[in-house]
Amino acid sequence: MNNRIWLWAVLGVLALFVVSGINTIPSLDEKVKAAWAQVENQYQRRMDLIPNLVETVKGYANFEQKTLTDVINARASATKVTITADQLSDPEAMKRFEQAQGALSSALSRLMAVSERYPDLKADQNFLALQSQLEGTENRIAVARKDYIDTVQQYNTTVRTFPGMIWAHIYGAKPKQTFTASEGAATPPAVKF
């Protein structure tokens, strides 16, 4: 009688282990995909704002054409480099995506810096509204990226530790890639007065 109780207890614990672990990897994978969709959503929001910003800036004849061209080209390049949720385990795909988005961020930063030289542009209500929306979007991108990084950390920890590694092996799950700091991010900018 005592052996039966132990046998049922062991089978119960084993069943609980199987039932609780079998859904962990797919659940975490869906969270990663949802977090990635939010990152893409915020990048798309930025892409949608850029044409309006460029058109507003174009109205100022003295504005530097090269800066506008750089923004337009960076946007075009960034729209060509996409990454699907299935490619989140591919470090090269993530690197290409980050580089394209980084080039666009850099071009937009230069556009905003150059706009400081044009008082009429800085006073234009459309430009101010678009600038504010762009700043808000950049903040949303940062939050979405942070949420994605946190979700990937949870997923990667699960697929690399016991017992999650068992389920990861069964599902063929691989660790996901996350964002990295851009080159030179550790070096503070030089400020000269």
pLDDT in tens, 23-72: 889 999 999 999 999 999 999 999 999 999 988 888 775 677 888 889 99
CATH architecture of 30-171: Up-down Bundle (1.20)
Give the residue-averaged pLDDT of 20-25.
Answer: 80
Contacts of 138 (CB under 8 A, 6+ apart): 46, 105
List the structure tokens of 161. 């530790």
pLDDT at 192: 44
Express as a percent the part of the chain with pLDDT over 90.
54
Residue-range domain boundaries for the chain: 30-171
pLDDT at 184: 58
Mean pLDDT for all residues in the chain:
87
In this predicted structure, the answer to whether residue 124 has a pLDDT above a threshold of 70 is yes
pLDDT in tens, 96-107: 999 999 999 999
3-state helix, strand, coil in the chain (%, to 5): 75, 0, 25
